[in-house]
Amino acid sequence: MFQYFYPHDYKDSTYEIDFEEYYKKGYRGVLFDIDNTLVMHGADADERAKQLFIKLKEMGFATCLISNNKEERVKRFNKNIKTKYIFKAGKPLKKNYIKAMEMMGTNPKNSIFVGDQIFTDVIGAKRCGMHCILVKPINPKEEIQIVLKRYLERPIIKSYEKHKKNK
């Protein structure tokens, strides 16, 4: 019933994803949400985020931030990351996922999306035919509209985990 909403993979953290394995499988672009995916909501890029982007570039990945936030927020996060970005992306609409892949020179078959929300990140990536990885939010304290989405996500995640266990 919930399979439309399932990510391709579900991790505790962005920082535990084996990007080297994805590179070996032919993936060449990684799109990231920012808040609660790479850092706590509203935080600047920390050392861990900076090192991740350095590592990805050294591996040969193109990267792009795709966020529903305003430009000031995305620009501030990107100050020390220095990657491509799209702000006010309108996720889960497909338009800016496609634009991000064009900016990176990749396509849906060799791109990955990493985000912390099913109803924006996962659905948008799946609508584009991209591989998507859902990560647990870094900080459970969130704005009320996101708290409500998390409540709706719970049965989907439970169903996903049960599905994966039975595979």
Burial class (CB in 10 A: 0-12, 13-18, 19+), 13: middle
With contact defined as beta carbons under 8 Å apart, do 136 and 12 qualify? yes
Element (H, E) at 22: helix 19-24
Range of the domain at 61: 3-165
In terms of Cα–Cα distance, which of 19, 3, 8, 5 is closest to 108?
8
Q: Cα–Cα distance between 114 and 10 in angstroms, integer?
A: 10
Global model pTM greater than 0.85: yes
**HSE-up (13 A, CA, CB side) for residue 19:** 25
Q: Cα–Cα distance between 75 and 72 in angstroms, integer?
A: 5
Section 103-125 average pLDDT: 95
Return the CATH number at 78.
Answer: 3.40.50.1000
Say which residue, 99 or 139, is predicted with more confidence: 99
Tens digits of per-residue pLDDT, 20-74?
999 999 999 999 999 999 999 889 999 999 999 999 999 999 999 999 999 999 9
With H, G, I as helix, E, B as strand and everything else as coil, classify residue 134. Answer: strand
**Total domains in the fold of the chain:** 1
In terms of Cα–Cα distance, which of 146, 165, 144, 152 is closest to 37?
146
